[in-house]
């Protein structure tokens, strides 16, 4: 299968590229162009895997460039996005340009090139604070940040292309994926990188709960979506079915490290009151039914196992050196 992956240089994208290559797919990896010729996290994968993929550097906001590179492609997996929620308060327009307009470009190129399957990546943030749990795909959409609003816009564009043009497009909606290579803007790497370097850590609100999904499980869902035959026009949650607060997540990481820490409440890391998503817990019944997927890192035991693997990755000096734990980068 000829697969075009946007956001290939990112956290989930790099893990997905590794898996697809091992499954002998022909992969065209679309990375964000930069003057340093960096391929992001793809620079850190096995060179034997790297030589078997075609890497294209560009920008999903450039329609003509995308269209030229989506020729003879069977499937598109669209992961590229601006993801930092705090940064979306400061640069909201950038989120529209990348997440909405970029997704439009992908959809229109898929339509024009008769791509057989397009998979769009959503986020659990589109639900806002859960009105009922577990959250099913028909839950109210409630944008509590410009980031969430941009992702709702992208999702609705995808569904409109399915209804209007019969584009075979599906939406996977991961809940708080975590694991090696994740951005330090996310809570788990924020905790781990600080504890590795100091007995003092800075965090924001500890009360919200999340449904953390280990990256290998998220990648499994994308792989199974490639084979699934009845997902066109569908939105599918990808989660762990396990809810845990930020405070209890911190306690698990502290327990694994075996050290006491001094917690400093950092006001810069606290979202505006009405923007905080206080509770997320996924229903994955639809994923089990349509994708034949269920998390392997399930429940508290699976979550702890994923945390341990993530910590062990960060403990390697060559990995930790890529992070600046003392800087809060929105």
pLDDT of residue 329: 66
pLDDT value at 330 more than 70: no
Token representation of residue 40: 């992001």
Q: What is the pLDDT of residues 89-111, one digit of tens each?
A: 999 999 999 999 999 999 999 99
User: Where do we find the tokens 């996310």?
Assistant: 186
Q: What is the pLDDT of residues 11-41, one digit of tens each?
A: 999 999 999 999 999 999 999 999 999 999 9
Phi first, then psi, for residue 245 (nearest 5°) are -80, 160
Specify whether the CB–CB gap between 218 and 240 falls below 8 A. Answer: no
Average pLDDT over residues 257-284: 94
Residue 144 or residue 260, greater confidence: 144
What's the chain's average pLDDT? 96
What dihedral angle (degrees, nearest 10) is formed by the CA atoms of 60, 81, 282, 209? 180
Ordered structural domains, the chain, with CATH: 2-177+213-241+280-298 (3.40.50.720)
Token representation of residue 187: 């809570």
Specify whether the CB–CB gap between 149 and 277 falls below 8 A. Answer: no
CA distance to 52, 59, 63, 198, 208, per residue, from 108 (Å)? 28, 15, 9, 49, 37
CA distance to 189, 230, 252, per residue, from 320 (Å)? 10, 42, 20
Q: What is the pLDDT of residues 157-204, one digit of tens each?
A: 999 999 999 999 999 999 999 999 999 889 999 999 999 999 999 999
- Of the candidates 86, 85, 69, the residue with the CA atom closest to the CA atom of residue 8: 69
Phi first, then psi, for residue 265 (nearest 5°) are -80, 120
Average pLDDT over residues 227-252: 97
If you write DSSP's letter for every residue of 111-138 in order, what string do you get? HHTT-SEEEEE--GGGG-S-SSSSBPTT
pLDDT of residue 328: 75
Calpha distance 70→57 (Å, rounded): 13
Token representation of residue 294: 């269920």
């Amino acid at each position: 299968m000829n697969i075009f992956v946007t956001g290939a240089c990112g956290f989930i994208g790099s893990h997905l590229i590794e898996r697809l290559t091992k499954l002998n797919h022909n992969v065209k990896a679309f990375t964000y162009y930069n003057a340093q010729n960096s391929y992001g996290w793809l620079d850190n994968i096995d060179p034997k895997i790297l030589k078997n993929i075609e890497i294209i550097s560009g920008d999903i906001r450039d329609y003509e460039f995308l269209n030229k590179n989506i020729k003879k492609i069977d499937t598109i997996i669209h992961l590229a996005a601006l993801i930092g929620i705090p940064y979306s308060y400061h640069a909201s327009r950038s989120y529209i340009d990348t997440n909405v307009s970029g997704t439009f470009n992908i959809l229109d190129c898929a339509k024009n090139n008769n791509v057989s399957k397009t998979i769009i990546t959503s986020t659990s943030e589109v639900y806002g604070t859960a009105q009922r749990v577990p959250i099913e795909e028909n839950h109210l959409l409630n944008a509590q940040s410009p980031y969430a609003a941009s992702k709702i816009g992208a999702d609705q564009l995808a569904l409109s292309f399915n209804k209007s043009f019969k584009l075979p497009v599906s939406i996977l909606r991961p809940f708080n994926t975590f694991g090696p290579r994740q951005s330090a803007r996310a809570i788990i790497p924020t905790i781990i990188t600080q504890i590795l370097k100091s007995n003092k850590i800075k965090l924001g609100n500890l009360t919200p709960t999340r449904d953390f999904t280990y990256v290998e499980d998220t990648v499994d869902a994308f792989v199974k979506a490639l084979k699934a035959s009845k997902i066109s026009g569908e939105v599918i949650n990808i989660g762990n079915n396990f809810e845990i607060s930020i405070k209890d997540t911190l306690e698990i990481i502290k327990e694994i490290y075996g050290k006491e820490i001094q917690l400093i409440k950092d006001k810069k890391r606290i979202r505006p009151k009405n923007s905080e998503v206080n509770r997320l817990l996924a229903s994955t019944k639809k994923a089990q039914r349509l994708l034949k997927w269920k998390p392997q890192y399930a429940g508290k035991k699976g979550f702890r196992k994923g945390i341990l693997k993530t910590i062990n990755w960060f403990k390697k000096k060559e990995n930790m050196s890529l992070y600046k734990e003392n800087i809060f980068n929105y």
